[in-house]
């Protein structure tokens, strides 16, 4: 079968291995996160330049709040600093930033920095960056069910009217399905990342810590994606090559 060399429209990145990257160098974990953040900026430019339209990042899970307080505080401060610092460059790049996740228990300074970034980039046309922060895929489903149940209770919706489309309209963000999810560091788990949206995603698990994941590693991942046979549950004859 001829390969149609299509790019994934929506890519998810689970940025894993910052802590191990630092540990292997005898450095504090915080430095691993800082290096990860530096690498992320470079990688984001590369992905949008290559024509990826939607990128979802797993920045901080709801479960990450159970890490020690010092690391949580460091990461929250890093997010605030980065959102302020990168606001201008993301705007210039034309990327519209949205967030997925719960508001509580985020501190006000973090929430405000998130909202400022959303507001400043809302006209972006080149691509969408969905940052999953205080995010859990199971909680997203719980929150969606509650939103829909409330609409039924308030008689805006009948139970028979709850369709796949209604479910999708009540997720945190309205994005196309994930085509491709890359989790760095060699771990082979989905860890509650966009479990609804990733129903038919292809997964890729490079054995590279996130701070070391280069643009060329990303290009290699894309080649791997383009050689996969995506069937979406259909017969071989109907399948699409990484479409
Ligand atoms: C997972 O590595 C990484 C995180 C929990 C934080 C990711 C955050 C960044 C890369 C900073 C920049 C992000 C944004 C969106 C501005 P880990 O700590 O679990 O690594 P380990 O498994 O090796 O311990």
- For the beta carbon of residue 56, count every other beta carbon within 10 angstroms: 26
Q: Which option is the CATH number for 10-137+177-242: 3.40.1180.10, 3.30.1660.40, 1.10.3720.10, 3.40.50.1980? A: 3.40.1180.10
Nearest CA to ligand 1 atom 14: 59
Q: What's the rounded Cα separation, in Å, for the pair 100 and 92?
A: 22
Encode the chain (243 residues) as per-residue pLDDT tens digits.
334 479 999 999 999 999 999 999 999 999 999 999 999 999 999 999 999 999 999 999 999 999 999 999 999 999 999 999 999 999 999 999 999 999 999 999 999 999 999 999 999 999 999 999 999 999 999 999 999 999 999 999 999 999 999 999 999 999 999 999 999 999 999 999 999 999 999 999 999 999 999 999 999 999 999 999 887 888 775 556 554
The finding on whether 16 has its CB within 6 A of some atom of ligand 1 is yes
Decide if 16 is catalytic.
Answer: yes
**Residue from 12, 13, 33, 213 to probe ligand 1 pocket by mutation (most atoms less than 8 Å from CB):** 33
The tokens for 162 are 């709850």
Burial of 121-156, coded b for 16+ CB within 10 Å and e otherwise, reads: beebeebbbbbbbbbbbebbeebbeeebeebeeeee
Nearest CA to ligand 1 atom 16: 79
pLDDT at 2: 39
Residue with tokens 């990860």: 36
- Distance set, CA 11 to CA 23, 55, 63, 95, 190 (Å): 28, 5, 22, 15, 14
The finding on whether 19 has its CB within 6 A of some atom of ligand 1 is yes
Out of 18, 39, 64, 238, which one is annotated catalytic? 64
Decide if 64 is catalytic.
Answer: yes
Domain residue ranges in the chain: 10-137+177-242
Q: What's the rounded Cα separation, in Å, for the pair 74 and 37?
A: 13
The finding on whether 113 has its CB within 6 A of some atom of ligand 1 is no
The finding on whether 117 has its CB within 6 A of some atom of ligand 1 is no
pTM for the predicted model, two decimal places: 0.94
pLDDT at 241: 55
The finding on whether 64 has its CB within 6 A of some atom of ligand 1 is yes
Nearest CA to ligand 1 atom 24: 19
């Amino acid at each position: 079968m001829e390969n149609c060399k299509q790019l994934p429209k929506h890519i998810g990145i689970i940025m894993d291995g910052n802590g191990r990257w630092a540990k292997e160098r005898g450095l504090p974990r915080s430095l691993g996160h800082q290096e990860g953040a530096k690498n992320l900026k470079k990688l984001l430019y590369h992905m949008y330049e290559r024509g990826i339209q939607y990128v979802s990042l797993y920045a901080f899970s709801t479960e990450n709040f159970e890490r020690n307080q010092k690391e949580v505080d460091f990461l929250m401060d890093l997010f605030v600093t980065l959102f302020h610092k990168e606001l201008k460059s993301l705007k210039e790049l034309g990327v519209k930033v949205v967030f997925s996740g719960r508001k509580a228990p985020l501190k006000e300074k973090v929430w405000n920095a998130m909202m400022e970034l959303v507001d400043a980039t809302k006209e972006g046309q080149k691509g969408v960056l969905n940052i999953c922060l205080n995010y859990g895929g199971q909680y997203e489903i719980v929150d969606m069910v509650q939103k829909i149940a409330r609409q039924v209770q308030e008689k805006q919706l009948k139970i028979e009217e709850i369709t796949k489309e209604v479910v999708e309209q009540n997720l945190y963000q309205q994005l196309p399905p994930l085509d491709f999810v890359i989790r760095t560091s060699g771990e082979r788990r989905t860890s509650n990342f966009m479990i609804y949206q990733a129903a038919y995603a292809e997964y890729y698990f490079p054995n590279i810590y996130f701070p070391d994941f280069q643009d060329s590693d990303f290009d290699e991942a894309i080649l791997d994606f383009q050689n996969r046979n995506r069937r979406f549950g259909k017969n071989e004859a109907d399948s699409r090559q990484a479409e």
